[in-house]
Structure 1
């Protein structure tokens, strides 16, 4: 009986110890799981904060770029039209007065267009094709360089936040070409594939050594912006051989 009682005691004790170990294991797993959940939540919050910061910066830069364009148009285009309209309206010749009135209608149209550009709501209504065409038209009107545009595939709908970042990225790529590349020609290729939107921007400018691009450069910021919308940024360039930039953005099929 003593041996039997001792065996029962050890069995019960072993069972109790196993229960404690099992309970400790379960509690540990729960704690680890909760810690991982908390870490994931913190990572998601950090990613979301960075995404929102990227959107805010892109919106700010688009507004600044728009104000610069508006100021240039007011001075170079509308200011000139107003001067011509004033001269024609002051003329005693009926045909000149008629021409002056026609200029006033054109001025009103130009001002309305500029006022709309000050509100970022235009981002939702404009297509990427139209936006790119407008940017190229600015270069052409300024006689900066020759431009080319090619499109393949159907137009797709992007949400406003992604479109804002993409538009600002395109603007910055063009600004870099204008400031540094000294190109004779800039071309755009816009292509919609089954799973990706591809935008290629190519110039025949002076080019540069991409191995010398530092992490603090604008190229690094452009890569981060595309990363924020789950896209990719790739640049190919060489001294004297121009530059080609490829923007790739995943798209979901309806």
Structure 2
């Protein structure tokens, strides 16, 4: 009888111990799950903050470039037109006064055009293909080098933030080619492949060693910017072999 009582007590204690063990396990899993939720939320908040910071920096950079452009236009173009119109209007000859009035109308048109670039509304009103075409036309018009734009696929609809990042990254790539590569030819191609949109920027210039820290920091910045919009940045270059850059973005 005593032996049976001991067995019952043992079973009860064992059951209680197992129940406590299970309860501890469940509580531990709940706590761990909540900790992971908090960590994931913190990570998502950090990613969101970095994304917003990147977009804000890009907007500021583009605005600064826009202001520099406006300053040059006001000084070199509109300033000259104003001086000419002042001379024409001060003339006693009717034909000169008429030319002066025409110049005033041209100045008004130029100022209106500049005012539209003071905000970033133009980003939404222009397609990425149009932007790239404009950039290449500017390069070609200077006589710096020959250019080419190739495009496959019709639907390249992008939201404003994606377009902002791509615009800035493309600008930086073209600026680097102009400043450092001395190419005779630049080609940009826009393709769709394997569920991705790809922009390839190729030049036949000097090329460089991508492992050098002086070059790596700039490339790292461009790579991080592409990552903020879920994209990828890839560069292939070596001295004397030109540079090939591929920007890819999931459709």
1:131 Cα deviation after fit: 1.2
Query: Which residue of the partner structure matches residue 5 of structure 1?
Result: 5
Q: Which moved more, 1:193-202 or 1:238-247?
A: 193-202
Query: Which residue of the partner structure matches residue 143 of structure 2?
Result: 143
Q: TM-score, normalised by structure 1?
A: 0.89
1:160 Cα deviation after fit: 1.4
Cα distance in 1 between the residues matched to 2:135 and 2:171: 8
Query: Which residue of the partner structure matches residue 224 of structure 1?
Result: 224
1:155 Cα deviation after fit: 3.5
Query: Which residue of the partner structure matches residue 159 of structure 2?
Result: 159
Q: TM-score, normalised by structure 2?
A: 0.90
Cα distance in 2 between the residues matched to 1:191 and 1:45: 33
Query: Which residue of the partner structure matches residue 73 of structure 2?
Result: 73
Do the aligned residues in 2 keep the contact of 1:55 with 1:164 (CA within 8 Å)? yes
Cα distance in 2 between the residues matched to 1:147 and 1:89: 42
Cα distance in 1 between the residues matched to 2:98 and 2:146: 35
Do the aligned residues in 2 keep the contact of 1:200 with 1:246 (CA within 8 Å)? yes
1:175 Cα deviation after fit: 1.5
Cα distance in 1 between the residues matched to 2:89 and 2:74: 20
1:94 Cα deviation after fit: 4.8
SS of residue matched to 1:202: strand
1:92 Cα deviation after fit: 5.0
Aligned length: 251
Cα distance in 1 between the residues matched to 2:12 and 2:143: 93
**1:217-237: CA deviations, max 9, x gaps?**
211100110011111111111
Do the aligned residues in 2 keep the contact of 1:184 with 1:205 (CA within 8 Å)? yes
SS of residue matched to 1:208: coil
Query: Which residue of the partner structure matches residue 209 of structure 1?
Result: 209
Do the aligned residues in 2 keep the contact of 1:153 with 1:193 (CA within 8 Å)? no
Cα distance in 1 between the residues matched to 2:192 and 2:92: 57
Do the aligned residues in 1 keep the contact of 2:136 with 2:147 (CA within 8 Å)? yes
Query: Which residue of the partner structure matches residue 189 of structure 2?
Result: 189
SS of residue matched to 1:217: helix
Query: Which residue of the partner structure matches residue 242 of structure 1?
Result: 242
Q: Would the alpha carbon gap of residues 99 and 244 (structure 1) be closer, same or farther in structure 2, given more than 3 Å must change?
A: farther
Do the aligned residues in 2 keep the contact of 1:155 with 1:192 (CA within 8 Å)? no
Do the aligned residues in 1 keep the contact of 2:182 with 2:206 (CA within 8 Å)? yes
Q: Would the alpha carbon gap of residues 91 and 113 (structure 1) be closer, same or farther in structure 2, given more than 3 Å must change?
A: same
1:125 Cα deviation after fit: 1.5
1:48 aligns with 2:29: no
Q: Which moved more, 1:33-42 or 1:91-100?
A: 91-100
Q: Would the alpha carbon gap of residues 241 and 216 (structure 1) be closer, same or farther in structure 2, given more than 3 Å must change?
A: closer
Q: Would the alpha carbon gap of residues 204 and 107 (structure 1) be closer, same or farther in structure 2, given more than 3 Å must change?
A: farther
Q: Would the alpha carbon gap of residues 70 and 229 (structure 1) be closer, same or farther in structure 2, given more than 3 Å must change?
A: same
Q: Where in structure 2 are the equivalents of 1:102-181 lying within 5 Å? A: 102-181=102-181
SS of residue matched to 2:190: strand
1:47 Cα deviation after fit: 1.0
